């Protein structure tokens, strides 16, 4: 059984927990220990899982990921007003081969998904997104993947999988369960024009760092539609994580990345959350801990709502345009927006029922000005292709 490969949380972390106040996260988490074994998954909301595999790193790692350092920073944070049950499963160490590690990641994540437990993966390198994505095989047909990343990570054709090329493998590998890929925070000078063109051809969504930093709410509908979210910490400014040669002077601030993480938590579709490419220094570990805190905070505020189930809770707006008649819905409760896309047929929609695409109030205003929102157009084209 794949769970047999999990290494318990280090004794120094458990000793650290003993000194924490009763309200600290570490005192309220069910932890995998040598003495007590694995925690029970029943009723768990999230499960923390360290993956220390780094052999496929694009820039070779000089040292192993210090997951214990991240845990100590997370455990000493105080609980919010949460109703979440937290478990910490410990770590997956490097297997005999990288494929062995991938297999264990896939099996453990699949088991958590089956149990409706949200894995929070702390991965040394971002190629761990690939086995995490494969964990959905047989569980969910079509996956929307969102990467918060300065790069698209398509890599070079025929290149072996690495932390800079894992997306190529996700796109081409069978079975192909990827419905949509969205990038939040790409920086143009890190991405070849061919990669930008590929994103356009596949009708994938990409949002530049400057656009998101100027209006963080643009990220909310993207994350609301995601099943799986991965954060490459290299999308964060170098100064925010105590400077490093592998990081850029431009990127998200700590506040911005925590807000994005909270949006991911609020999305009731997100069932897997990963953070990758961390640095082993206290400032980086503190920021990772706070990103996790905000993700769990977001989960606490999840609201399942659909214009098709509780029509009284929504206002419907029909906007005639030259090309199409667009139908928007606005929630009275959360003030979130959706737009109907008649071409998307997914397993969770009723026959002949248009799919609902999360959008913004600005998309509605654009439609009123006869400008069809780009996100609607891409979803519409993808449904027919």
Q: Which residues of 57-95 are buried (b: 16+ CB within 10 A; e: fewer)?
A: bbeebeeebbbbbbbbbbbbbebeebebbbbbbbbbeeb
C-alpha separations of 128 from 12, 43, 131 in Å: 26, 26, 6
Name the pTM for this structure: 0.94
Distance between CA atoms of residues 243 and 264, nearest Å: 26
The pair of structure tokens assigned to 149 is 């990343």
Q: What is the pLDDT of residue 385?
A: 43
CA-based nearest residue to 109, from 2, 231, 267, 36: 2
The pair of structure tokens assigned to 280 is 């082993």
Residues near 310 by beta carbon (within 8 Å), at least 6 away in sequence: none
In CATH, which of 3.20.20.150, 3.30.465.10, 3.40.800.10, 2.40.10.230 is domain 2-300?
3.40.800.10
C-alpha separations of 41 from 35, 45, 245, 262, 267 in Å: 17, 9, 39, 23, 22
- Residue 195 is classified by DSSP as H
CA 188 to chain centre: 21
Domain boundaries along the sequence of the chain? 2-300, 311-384
Q: What is the pLDDT along the chain (385 residues), one digit of tens a residue?
A: 789 999 999 999 999 999 999 999 999 999 999 999 999 999 999 999 999 998 887 777 778 999 999 999 999 999 999 999 999 999 999 999 999 999 999 999 999 999 999 999 999 999 999 999 999 999 998 999 999 999 998 876 555 555 577 898 898 888 899 999 999 999 999 998 988 998 999 999 999 999 999 999 999 999 999 999 999 999 999 999 987 778 899 999 999 999 999 999 999 999 999 999 999 999 999 999 999 999 999 999 999 998 888 888 999 999 998 888 999 999 999 999 999 998 655 444 444 567 899 999 999 999 999 999 999 989 888 875 4
Distance between CA atoms of residues 236 and 261, nearest Å: 13
CA-based nearest residue to 285, from 131, 25, 67: 67
Q: What is the pLDDT of residue 350?
A: 43
Q: What is the pLDDT of residue 347?
A: 45
């Amino acid at each position: 059984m794949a769970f047999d490969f999990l290494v318990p949380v280090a004794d120094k972390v458990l000793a650290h927990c003993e000194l924490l106040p009763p309200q600290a996260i570490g005192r309220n988490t069910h932890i995998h220990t040598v003495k007590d074994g694995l925690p029970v998954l029943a009723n768990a909301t999230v499960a923390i899982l360290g993956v220390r595999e780094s052999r496929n790193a694009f820039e070779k790692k000089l040292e192993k990921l210090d997951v214990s350092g991240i845990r100590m920073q997370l455990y000493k944070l105080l609980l919010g007003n949460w109703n979440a049950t937290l478990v910490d499963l410990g770590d997956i160490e490097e297997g005999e081969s990288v494929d062995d590690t991938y297999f264990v990641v896939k099996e453990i994540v699949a088991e958590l998904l089956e149990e409706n437990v949200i894995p929070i993966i702390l991965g040394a390198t971002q190629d761990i997104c690939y086995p995490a994505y494969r964990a959905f095989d047989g569980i969910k047909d079509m996956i929307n993947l969102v990467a918060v990343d300065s790069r698209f990570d398509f890599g070079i054709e025929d290149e072996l999988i690495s932390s800079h090329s894992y997306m190529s493998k996700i796109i081409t590998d069978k079975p192909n369960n990827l419905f949509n890929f969205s990038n939040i925070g790409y920086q143009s000078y890190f991405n070849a024009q061919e990669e930008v063109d590929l994103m356009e051809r596949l009708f994938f969504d990409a949002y530049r760092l400057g656009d998101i930093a100027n209006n963080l709410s643009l990220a909310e509908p993207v994350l609301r539609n995601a099943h799986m979210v991965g954060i490459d910490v290299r999308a964060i400014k170098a100064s925010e994580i105590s400077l490093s040669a592998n990081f850029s002077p431009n990127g998200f601030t700590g506040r911005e990345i925590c807000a994005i993480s909270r949006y991911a938590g609020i999305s009731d579709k997100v069932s897997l959350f990963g953070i990758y490419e961390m640095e082993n220094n206290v400032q980086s570990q503190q920021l990772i801990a706070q990103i996790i805190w905000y993700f769990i905070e977001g989960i606490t505020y999840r609201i399942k709502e659909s214009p098709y189930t509780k029509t009284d809770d929504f206002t419907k707006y029909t906007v005639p345009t030259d090309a199409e008649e667009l139908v928007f819905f606005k929630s009275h409760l959360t003030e979130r927006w959706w737009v109907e896309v008649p071409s998307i047929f997914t397993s969770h929609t009723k026959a002949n029922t248009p799919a609902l695409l999360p959008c913004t109030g600005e998309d509605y205003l654009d439609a009123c000005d006869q400008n069809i929102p780009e996100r609607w157009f891409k979803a519409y084209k993808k449904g027919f292709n």
